[in-house]
Amino acid sequence: MSNLVEMGKKAKEAAVVLATLSTPVKNKALLASADALMAAKEDILAKNKEDVDAALANGIKGAFIDRLTLTDARVADMADGLRQVAKLDDPVGEVLSMKKLDNGLVVGQKRVPMGVIGIIFEARPNVTADAFGLCLKAGSAVILRGGKEAFKTNHAVVNAIRAALKAEGLPEDAVQMVPDTSRETANEMMRLNGYLDVLIPRGGAGLINSVVQNSTVPVIQTGVGNCHVYVDESADFEKAAKIVINAKTQRPGVCNACESLLVHEKIAEDFLPAVGRALQEKKVEIRGDEATQKLVDGSIAATEEDWGTEYADYILSTRVVKDLDEAIAHIRKYSTGHSEAIVTENYTNAQRFLNEVDAAAVYVNASTRFTDGGQFGFGAEIGISTQKLHARGPMGLKELTTTKYIIYGDGQIRE
Amino acid sequence: MSNLVEMGKKAKEAAVVLATLSTPVKNKALLASADALMAAKEDILAKNKEDVDAALANGIKGAFIDRLTLTDARVADMADGLRQVAKLDDPVGEVLSMKKLDNGLVVGQKRVPMGVIGIIFEARPNVTADAFGLCLKAGSAVILRGGKEAFKTNHAVVNAIRAALKAEGLPEDAVQMVPDTSRETANEMMRLNGYLDVLIPRGGAGLINSVVQNSTVPVIQTGVGNCHVYVDESADFEKAAKIVINAKTQRPGVCNACESLLVHEKIAEDFLPAVGRALQEKKVEIRGDEATQKLVDGSIAATEEDWGTEYADYILSTRVVKDLDEAIAHIRKYSTGHSEAIVTENYTNAQRFLNEVDAAAVYVNASTRFTDGGQFGFGAEIGISTQKLHARGPMGLKELTTTKYIIYGDGQIRE
C-alpha cells in the first residue's frame, strides 16, 4: 500500500469524526491552531529561511521569492486568517429545503461535509493554513500538496497545526501533507479515487491544466482569468477610465485583473488616447489592433496570441470593435469565463451583456477586481472556480460542502 | 479537425441560441419534437427492428433485448416524456440570491444554462429523447453517444427531433449523435474539453468507471447502488418486513433496489426466519453470514465479495450485526453512497443514522426505492448522482444548470 493510500485512509477516518463535530468545538480548534502558529513562529520562520535560501541558490528571484517569503507579520496574518474562519457561520447542517410528498414521506436536502478534500498549490505557504482552516470549518479533512520550494515551511506550519489538534483531542489527520513534492506523488494524488472526494488546484495555468488532464478524482478548476472590459458607445467616460485603470493596474498579478480592453468604434477617438496615456503613465504596455495603434502613441501591435493571453502583468491588449455584438463575440472567443465587464449607460446593452456573456462573474459599470470571496461577503475563499460544475466564481465555505437527501418515513413502500 | 471537434463547435453555437430562448419557445419545440416522434414512428420501429435483429443474430438475449426493443407504446411514451418536460418549470433565469454590498455593488447569483452536455449511455433508446428534452428545457445543447446495439434506432429518433427543431426555426444542433460507437470516438468525446461542459455516463459500473478513468471533461457519476436496509433492535417488524421486501423485490434491476440487509442481533431470531421465507417465496436467494445461515433455511454463505456487490437481481446479502455502530461501520465500508435505510422506532438511532451515514439519500422507515427524480417531485430525471460534486442524488432540470454572478455597479473600483 502506497503512502498516499495510507494517507487517504487516515483522512477518511478523520473526516468521519470531523463531520459530526459541533461548531464550538471546530471554532476552538481553529483558535488553538492560530495560537499554535504564533507559538511556532520562530521555527516556521527558520524553516522558511531555509526554503528561501535554497530557492535563491537555485537562481529563483523576484515576485516568486516575495510570495515564498514569510515574515513576522505574515505568520501573524496566517493566524488571524484562522481566527477569522472561526467567526464565519458554520455551513454544515443547514437544511436547504424540506417538503412532504403525497405519500407522507418528508424529503429534506441538507448541507453536509464533502469528506476529504485535496489541494495542490504553488509557492504561497499561507495557503497551507488557509486551506486547513476552511476545510476544518466545513467539516472535511484535507490533504495538501504545496510547491516544492515551500516544502519545509509548509511542513512546519502543518506540524504546528497537527499538534494543536491533537492537544484539543481532535484527529490530527484532519490535515496531512504529501510526503514529497515529486511528480509521481502528485500524479498518485490525482488518482486517489475512493479517498479524495474533490481535488482543487490553486496556481498558474500550467498546474491547473496538468491536474485537469491527469486527475480521475473530480476537480474544481480555479483561477485562470483572461478578463475583458468593454467600453460601450454610451459609456460615461469618467467611470470607464477609472474602471479600466483600476481593473488593469490595482493588482495586475491576480486572476480578476483586466487583460483586454474593447472599445466601441464610435467613441474610440474620444476615449482611447486619454485612457491610453493614463495607463502608460502607470507603466502599462498597450498592445492594440490597427485602430488602437493609430489612437494610442507608443502602443505596439497585438498578435492573435495576445487576445488569448492572461498576462498577469502591466500589459493590456486593446481592440476597437464595431458594436456590442462584436464585443460579445470577441469575449466568447477568448474569455476564460472568469470576470467580464461592460461600461455603459444603455439599459438594453447592459442587460444583453449580463445575459449573453458566459462567465463566472459579469459586471455592469464596475471593476472586474471585485470577483473575490472576501469582496462578495463570503468571509474567505478557497479559490475562484472557472468551471460550471458544483461551484462557479468565488468559493467560500458553502462551496466546500455537498448535500444529502434525508427522508423521514412511516413505513412507506413503493407501489 | 476531427468530427467531434466539429460537432463540439456546432453544439457551442447552438448553445448560444438556446441559452436565451424564452420558455414558450422551448416548450413549443418540445411539443413539436413529440409530434415528430409520433409521425416518424414507423421509421423508428423499422430501424429498431434492424437493431434488434442484429442483436439477436449476435446471440444477445433476455433483458438486454427487452431494453433495446421499441413498440408502438414505447414510442408513444417517448413522445409523452417530451410533453411532460414541456410542463415543468423552466429552471433558467432564476435568481438564487441578490444582495447589496457596502460599496453599493448589487451582487446576484443567477441560474444559467450549462452550455453543452455530453451523455454516454447504453441500450435503452428512450434515453435519446429523454436526454434531449431535459437538456433543451435547461437551455443546453446535448451530444449523445448511445450503445452500439441501438445505433440505428437512436439515429432515427435524433433525425426526427432535428427535423422538428429546424421546422421551428431552432438550431438542429441542439441535439447531435456521435458518428459511430467506436471506443476511439468515445474516448475522444471524453476529452472534448473546451466544448463539453459536463459528461454524464448512464449505465452499468463498467461504463461509469471507464468514463471516470478516461475523461478529462468534468463528469457526474451516476447510478451504482449497493444499497442497505438496516433493521434496528427497536424496529416495527411489520414495517421492516414490508420495507425489506419492497426494496429488494419491487424492481430488483434498478440502482435504488436493496442489495444488502443488516439485522440487529437482538431481534434476528424473531425477525429473520419469517422475512427470509417471505423473500424466498419471491425467488430471492439469501447469502448470509453464519448467524443468518442458522436462521434462514436454504440460505447460503456470503463471501467478502458479496458485501460489496450490486446484484441488480433476486439476491440479497444478509448479515446480523451487534448494534447500530456495527451497522454504520458496515455501510461505511461497503456502501456506494446511493441510498441507505434504517428501520427503527428509536429516535436517537434514527437521527444518528441520518447524520452518520454518508450517502446521496438516507431513509428512516421507508424503502430505498424512492430515490428517484419522479418520486421526489422533480418531474423527470437525467440520472442519480452518486458523487459529491455539483449534484448528489436524483438530478432534474436544476441539476443540469449552472450559475453565474451578475453584478450591477455604478462606477465602483477596488481600493
CATH pick for B3-221+387-407 out of 3.30.110.70, 3.30.230.10, 3.40.605.10, 3.30.310.40: 3.40.605.10
Q: Please give the grid coordinates belonging to residue B140.
A: 443546453
Q: Which residue of B has its CA nearest to A199?
A: B389
Residues of chain B with Cβ-Cβ distance to A325 below 8 Å are: none
Residues of chain B with Cβ-Cβ distance to A20 below 8 Å are: 355-356
Task: Name residues of chain B where pLDDT drops below 50.
Answer: none
Q: Which residue of A has its CA nearest to B107?
A: A376
First-to-final CA distance of chain A: 46
Closest Cβ–Cβ partner in A250, A387, A414 for B370: A414
Section A104-122 average pLDDT: 97
Cβ within 8 Å, pair B413-A115 = no
Closest Cβ–Cβ partner in A242, A376, A389 for B389: A389
With a pLDDT cut of 70, the percent of chain A lying above it is 100
Task: Check CB contact of B28 with chain A, cutoff 8 Å.
Answer: no
pLDDT reading at A1 higher than 70 = no
- Give the Cβ contact number of residue A303 at 10 Å: 11
Q: Containing H/E element for A12?
A: helix A3-19
Residue A368 and residue A227 in contact, taking contact as beta carbons nearer than 8 Å: yes
Distance in Å, alpha carbon of B166 to nearest chain A alpha carbon = 23
User: What is the pLDDT at residue A27?
Assistant: 98
Distance in Å, alpha carbon of B332 to nearest chain A alpha carbon = 10
Q: What is the location of CATH 3.40.605.10 in chain A? A: 3-221+387-407
- Contacts with A118 (C-beta within 8 Å, 6 or more apart), sequence order: A142, A143, A144, A145, A189, A192, A196, A198, A199, A200, A217
Looking at B258-323, list the stretches that DSSP marks H as alpha helix, in order from N- to C-terminal side: 265-281, 290-295, 304-307
- Sheet holding A401-412: strands in order across? A95-100, A106-113, A401-412, B361-366, B339-343, B227-231, B258-264, B315-321, B285-288, B300-301
Q: Please give the grid coordinates belonging to residue A194.
A: 475512493
Residues of chain B with Cβ-Cβ distance to A213 below 8 Å are: 216
CA angle B331, B334, B339 (to 5 degrees): 60
Handedness of CA B122, B123, B126, B132 (dihedral sign): positive
CA–CA separation, A206 and A188 (whole Å): 18
For B109-178, give the DSSP string: EEEEE-SEEEEEE-S-THHHHHHHHHHHHTT-EEEEE--GGGHHHHHHHHHHHHHHHHHTTS-GGGEEE-
CA–CA separation, A76 and B238 (whole Å): 61
Residues of chain B with Cβ-Cβ distance to A371 below 8 Å are: 405
Task: Check CB contact of A107 with chain B, cutoff 8 Å.
Answer: yes
Residues of chain B with Cβ-Cβ distance to A19 below 8 Å are: 355-356, 358
User: What is the pLDDT at residue B1?
Assistant: 56
Q: Which residue of B has its CA nearest to A360?
A: B404
CA angle A115, A121, A123 (to 5 degrees): 145
CA–CA separation, B317 and B321 (whole Å): 13
Nearest of B70, B45, B54 to residue B124 by alpha carbon: B70
pLDDT digits (tens, 9 = 90+) for A367-391: 999 999 999 988 888 999 999 999 9
Nearest of A20, A18, A41, A42 to residue A30 by alpha carbon: A18
Mutate to test the interface with B, among A389, A401, A403 (most CBs of B within 10 A): A389
Fold of A227-370: Aldehyde Dehydrogenase; Chain A, domain 2 (3.40.309)
Query: Quick one: angle between helices B183-190 and B205-214, nearest 10?
Result: 50
Task: Check CB contact of B98 with chain A, cutoff 8 Å.
Answer: no
Q: Which residue pairs from A179-187 have beta carbons closer than 8 angstroms and sit at least 24 positions apart in sequence?
A: A179/A3, A180/A151, A181/A145, A181/A146, A181/A147, A181/A148, A181/A151, A185/A3, A185/A4, A185/A145, A186/A120, A186/A145, A187/A214
* Cα separation values, B300 from B247, B280, B293, B295, Å: 21, 12, 6, 11
Residues forming beta bridges with residue A219, ordered by sequence position: A199
Task: Check CB contact of A367 with chain B, cutoff 8 Å.
Answer: yes
User: What is the pLDDT at residue A224?
Assistant: 86
Burial class (CB in 10 A: 0-12, 13-18, 19+), A348: exposed
DSSP state of B71: -
Cβ within 8 Å, pair B332-A219 = no
User: What is the pLDDT at residue B33?
Assistant: 98
Query: Quick one: angle between helices B23-39 and B41-57, nearest 10?
Result: 60
Task: Check CB contact of B193 with chain A, cutoff 8 Å.
Answer: yes
Ramachandran class of A383: left when φ > 0, alpha when ψ lies in -120 to 50, beta otherwise:
left
User: What is the pLDDT at residue A379?
Assistant: 83
* Torsions phi, psi for A168 (to 5 deg): -85, 0
Q: Containing H/E element for A107?
A: strand A106-113
Q: What is the location of CATH 3.40.309.10 in chain B? A: 227-370
* Torsions phi, psi for A151 (to 5 deg): -60, -50
Distance in Å, alpha carbon of B46 to nearest chain A alpha carbon = 34
Size of chain A in residues:
415
Cβ within 8 Å, pair A407-B364 = yes
Residues of chain A with Cβ-Cβ distance to B196 below 8 Å are: none
Residue A92 and residue A112 in contact, taking contact as beta carbons nearer than 8 Å: yes
User: What is the pLDDT at residue A22?
Assistant: 97
Task: Check CB contact of B243 with chain A, cutoff 8 Å.
Answer: yes
pLDDT digits (tens, 9 = 90+) for A318-334: 999 999 999 999 999 99
User: What is the pLDDT at residue B124?
Assistant: 86
Cβ within 8 Å, pair A412-B365 = yes
